[in-house]
Each structure stands twice: as structure tokens, then as C-alpha cells.
Amino acid sequence: MREKIRTDRFRILSWGGVAFFTLLYASLIFNRNVWTDEIFTLKLIQNDFAGIVEGTAADVHPPLYYFLARVALLIFGDSLQVQKLVTILPMSLTLLLGATKVRRQFSDVTACFFIWTLGCLPCTMEYAVQVRMYSMALLAVTACGLYALEAFETEKRGAWIGFTVSALAAAWLHYFALGSVLLIQGFLFLALLMKKRRKLKCWLAAAAVMIAGYAPWAGVFLRQSAGVAQSYWIPKITWSTVADYFQWAFGISKWKWPAWAFTALAVGAGIMAVSGAAKRRREETAALLAMLVPALTAAAGVILSFLIRPVYRDQYVFPAMGLFCLFFAVELSRLVKRKAILIPVCLFLLFLGAVQYLETWRQEYRSTLTDQTVEFWEEHVGEDDLIVYNLEVYEFCYSYYFPEEKLSYVRDVDLDQEFDEIWFLDTPGEWEFVPPQILPYDLQIEYMGHYGIEHNEFDIYRVTKGPNPQPLPGEGAQG
């Protein structure tokens, strides 16, 4: 009876966690704040499917996520909130894997810890609502790992189908997700070779389907890889950068110590997993292999960056973090009777999750002046007005919020053309649009306020036709 009560309690916590974190993610979508990579997504999916293929072939990611985002746009309309929900859905489905597959393959206790670790892990909250492919890749890689375990342990044909489909989906979503599923495939091959060789024909069949399914994109992948090897925008990786990867995964912006505390916990969990695997405990062997997937994915990215050129960013390991959470959950479940250790660890995890939610909420709603800027645009800017900016690298972002045909860089603007008013976005420290420049055109400048888009803040000036402004102090009259 006591065991049943404990099982029911953990099952309630599991399903409650799925609902709770889904609601938290949904609470973060009611804004118009997007960043550069999200703008790339929102612009790309305005194209048809052929245009998406062309755009992704010129970029450094596969096209599956953009296809699905395009489908959502065609069905539900061109809405930022719809696209944010497209990223929340796979995040919630990954949590749902915890309440279903993890529970069946491990235990109710492990399932509960998996869900709450995934929800509270600091790096997951931001990517749950970011209009990019990362949450889909997380779902695919996590499912691939779970199906690989099921394919090894059971005779279910569906396990091999799930393994193959999820691996292909990961490969079509992100290149480092492809690296993660190749590791899973390698681990499964070695396990079958050592213990269940009769299943190697199933593995070979799955591998053949994966190769055939990825063949249409393989040429593009090789071409993009060659291009990245020659030139890429990621800055040089140092050992300090590598240390920052732990801050990204386990830390919060306010303090550095939580990341190192969580890293210490992960190392301790790793030692427990190695000890359990050495004793041939099934769950801890699986946990150790699960932990190796993100660890080796990140290590491969860092090594390639040192040997060739920088190609790795911290979020590229995100698709494999569901398997890290599975590893951590298995080791936490071993401590379920050691409450003196378990309770502080769980409280620390909840603390990290709460602080990270508040930080993500601030990023989504308070970190930029986007809403005020868009409201200003809607209220003041007319059909025949021009928008002039002086931060040239932000043209890509400005063109998402403002009609591209109205935009001009300050050094390229043609003041001889017909217009009603000019709205000058003045980023401090950049090229100014000053009275001496506009005097020949009989224009005036009026300060309108402080605004911003993404993380670029600027002052807005209204430039109108009218009498020449007074000369600046120390200047003579110009006529």
C-alpha cells in the first residue's frame, strides 16, 4: 500500500509537471519581441517551400523546421504567437515522453524527476519559446534515445520505426542533432554487437533507411560544411569560452555559483552512473550512455572548432539535453530514500527553475523597447514617410518591423525624393543625421523619445519640411 501511494504521488507530480511547464511556456508568448535568428525564421517562412529550400541551402541549417513553421502559417495565419506555439508544442511533447515512455522504460520516480529536471534546467526555458528549431530537435533526439533503448530490449517493430523516424527528423532539423543521433546509433550498434547480434540486421535496415532518407540533403550538407570550414562568423573558441558553456547550460545570469554547483552535482551523478554501470545495472548503464550523448556532442564541436575553425555554439548541444535530464533523473531516483540528500538537490533545482523563468519573462517582456517602438510606429508613421537608421548591421532586423521600401541607411538616403516626414533612428555612437547635413533641404529635426528593437536602443527624431533651423553654436549662416 505504501509503495502504491508513493507511485501515485510521483505519477501525479509527473502529469502535473507536464501541465505546469506548458502553462509557464505559454505565459511567455504574448509579446512582439524577437531577435535576429527568429527574424530569419519569420522572413524565411514567408516563402513557398521551394523558396525555403533555397534559403536554407544558402544558410547552415536543414529545412524541416521551416517546412513545419510554414505549414502552421498557412493553416493558422501569419502570427508571431502561432510560431511561438509551434516551438512550445515539441517542448511539451518531450515532457510528455517523460510521463509515458520514460515511466514505462524506467519508473514513475524517474519519469517525475525527468520532467522536473527538464523543466527547471536553466537552458531550456528560453528555447521553449524561441522561434527556432531547437525544441523540435530536442524532441527528436530524446525520442531517438528512448526508442533505441526499446529496440535493444524488446522485439517491437514499432521501436525500430520510432528510432528511424526520430533519427531522420533530428538530422533534418539541426546538424548537431544529426551528430547526437549518430552517437546513439553507434552506441546501439556496439550494444547489439556485444549482446544481441541477431538484431544487427534490423540496425542495418534502419541505417539504410536513414541514409536513403537523408540522401536528398546530403549534397547540401557537404557544400555547407565546406563553406563553414572556409569562413564562419562564430568567434574564436578559448578555454574561457568552454567554461561559459557550463554557465549557459546550468547557470543563471544573476550569479555564477549555481552553474558550478550544478556541474558538481552532474559530476557526482556521473560517478554514481559509472559505478552502477560497472556492476551491470541496466538503468545506470542506460543513464551513462544517455549522458555521453550530449557530452560527446559538445566535445566534438569544441574539438572541430580547435582543429578547423570555430563552428560550435553553446546552444548546439541543446537537442541532446533531454538525454542529460534522463541521466540525471535516473541518478536522482537512486536517492529517493536518502531524503537528506534528495530534498536539498530538488530545492536547488526548483530554485534554478524559478529564477530562470523570471529571467526569461524579463527577456520576453522587459528587456527591450520593442512594444513601445511598434506602438509609436503605428501611431505616428504615415504611408509616405521614410525611416532612416544609422546602425547599418541592424537593417535586417529593421526590415522585419518596418516596410523595406521605406528604409534607408543614413549615408545612402536620397533627400531629393518625395516624402512627408523622415523618422531617424539614432543609435548612439553611429553616423549622425545632423542639422548641417539637412540645411540645404529646408528640413527640421525634432526629438521624439527613446525607443529600441531587439537589444539595440536608439533615439527617434522626426525630420520635417520647414524653415531652416538656426545654425549650430559657432557656425555661420549657410545659404
> Alpha carbon of 210 to those of 144, 234, 289, 337, 408: distances in Å?
12, 30, 22, 43, 47
pLDDT of residue 60 exceeding 60, the answer is yes
pLDDT at 469: 46
For the ranges 238-242, 321-325, 411-415, 467-471, the lowest mean pLDDT is seen at 467-471
**Confidence class of residue 417 from pLDDT cuts 50, 70 and 90?**
confident
Please report the beta strands in 311-435, taking only residues with DSSP state E, as ranges in sequence order.
386-389, 407-409, 421-426
pLDDT (mean) for 217-237: 75
pLDDT single digits (tens) 107-131: 999 999 999 999 999 999 989 999 9
Residue type at position 72: A
What residues pair up with 35 in beta bridges, in sequence order? none
Nearest to 73 by CA among 53, 50, 49, 45: 45
Q: Which three cell numbers stand for residue 452?
A: 529600441
Sequence-distant (≥ 6) Cβ neighbours of residue 420 within 8 angstroms: 382, 384, 385
For the ranges 144-148, 304-308, 330-334, 390-394, the lowest mean pLDDT is seen at 304-308
pLDDT at 224: 81
Count the residues in the chain: 479
The whole-angstrom separation of Cα 445 and Cα 435 is: 7
Alpha helices by DSSP H, listed for 366-422, are: 370-380, 395-401
Q: Which three cell numbers stand for residue 420?
A: 512627408
Report whether 66 contacts 41 (CB < 8 A).
yes
In angstroms, how far is CA 90 from the centroid of its own chain? Answer: 12
Q: Is the dihedral of CA 258, 259, 264, 265 positive or negative?
A: positive
pLDDT at 458: 93
> In this predicted model, which residue has the larger pLDDT, 306 or 343?
343
**Confidence class of residue 239 from pLDDT cuts 50, 70 and 90?**
confident
DSSP, res 404: G
The whole-angstrom separation of Cα 79 and Cα 72 is: 9
pLDDT (mean) for 367-376: 88
pLDDT single digits (tens) 66-118: 999 999 999 999 999 999 999 999 999 999 999 999 999 999 999 999 999 99
pLDDT single digits (tens) 251-291: 888 788 999 999 999 999 999 999 988 888 899 999 999 99
Sequence-distant (≥ 6) Cβ neighbours of residue 41 within 8 angstroms: 65, 66, 69, 83, 131, 132
pLDDT single digits (tens) 430-465: 887 765 666 677 788 889 999 998 888 999 999 887
pLDDT (mean) for 203-226: 92
> Alpha carbon of 30 to those of 83, 85, 107, 116: distances in Å?
12, 11, 36, 24
pLDDT single digits (tens) 174-198: 999 999 999 999 999 999 999 999 9
> In this predicted model, which residue has the larger pLDDT, 237 or 229?
237
Strand order of the sheet with strand 421-426?
A: 407-409, 386-389, 421-426, 456-465, 443-453
pLDDT (mean) for 34-47: 92
**What percentage of the chain carries pLDDT values higher than 90?**
61
Considering only the C-alpha atoms of the chain, give the largest distance between any 2 of them, rounded to a whole number of Å.
96
DSSP, res 467: S
Alpha helices by DSSP H, listed for 231-320, are: 239-250, 257-278, 282-307
pLDDT at 479: 31
The whole-angstrom separation of Cα 54 and Cα 63 is: 9
3-state SS track over 84-143: HHHHHHHHHHHHHHHHHHHHHHCCHHHHHHHHHHHHHCHHHHHHHCCCCCHHHHHHHHHH
Reported pTM = 0.90
**What percentage of the chain carries pLDDT values higher than 70?**
93
Report whether 381 contacts 387 (CB < 8 A).
yes
> In this predicted model, which residue has the larger pLDDT, 323 or 404?
323
Per-chain mean pLDDT for the chain? 89
The whole-angstrom separation of Cα 14 and Cα 276 is: 25
Phi, psi dihedrals of residue 135, rounded to the nearest 5°: -70, -35
